[in-house]
Amino acid sequence: MKKEVSIKQVHWDAEEVFRIGGFYCSEAIVSSVRKNIDPEMPAELVSVASGFPVGVGKSKCLCGAVSGAMICLGYFFGRRDPASSDDSQARKCMELAHELQESFRQNHKGTLCCHKHVKGMDMASAEHKAQCVAFTGEMARKTAEIIVRELGLKPVYEGA
């Protein structure tokens, strides 16, 4: 785990790998958080994000960027052994998940529904891509801010 985290770099890396087409939104967020905050995160955590893009398997349901952020929070604050751990740890993780999805709702029409955000857009258009790139960067940033705050890491605001 890194002790210092450039929030801007987390934001920029997530946007860039999606912009150039290497990863989709949810994968881009986990990949950037892994690279910039915890390189020891198993690479499988990036893979688990692969089914969520375009609102879960292109069904335009839950926004993929929000899903990528949730996977990161679960990795850092979830439970390794739910059967034996007490529920207070889960409650804390759920509070952080709630905070994260709420920040997305406040910024974007009060909804996590992909189909509402892409309504009227051509899915192949630059307008659609730009919106999803921005959602990806925003969720990567918010995820990093929560992780840094909760784990007492040092945020660095220069760079990228």
Partner 1 sequence: MQKEVNLEKVRRDAEEAYLQGGYHDSEAVVHAIRINIEPAMPEAVVAAALGFSCGVGESQCMVGPVAGGVIALGYFFGRDFPTTPTDPKSQRTLELANEIHEDFKKKHKVLCCHVHEKGLTIGSPEHKNQCASFAGDVAVKTAEIIAREKGLTLT
Residue 113's beta-bridge partner residues? 62
Q: What CA–CA distance (Å, rounded) separates 79 from 31?
A: 21
The residue among 4 and 99 lying less far from partner 1, judged by its C-beta, is: 99
Give the residue with the Cβ less far from partner 1, 20 or 158: 20
> How many Å separate Cα 138 from the centre of its chain?
8
Cβ at position 95, least distance to partner 1 in Å: 8
Can residue 39 be called a binding residue for partner 1 (CB under 8 A)? no
- List all residues 6 or more positions away from 157 whose beta carbon is below 8 Å from its beta carbon: 6, 7, 8
Left if phi > 0, otherwise alpha if psi is -120 to 50, otherwise beta: which for 123?
A: alpha
| Alpha-carbon span 107 to 60, nearest angstrom | 19
Least separation in angstroms between residue 157's CB and partner 1 is 26
The span of 3-11, 21-29, 132-140, 147-155 binding partner 1 (CB under 8 A) equals 21-29
Interaction between residue 151 and partner 1 (CB under 8 A): no
- Interacting span for partner 1 (CB under 8 A) from 2-10, 64-72, 115-123, 148-156: 64-72
Among 29, 46, 133, 148, binds partner 1 (CB under 8 A): 46
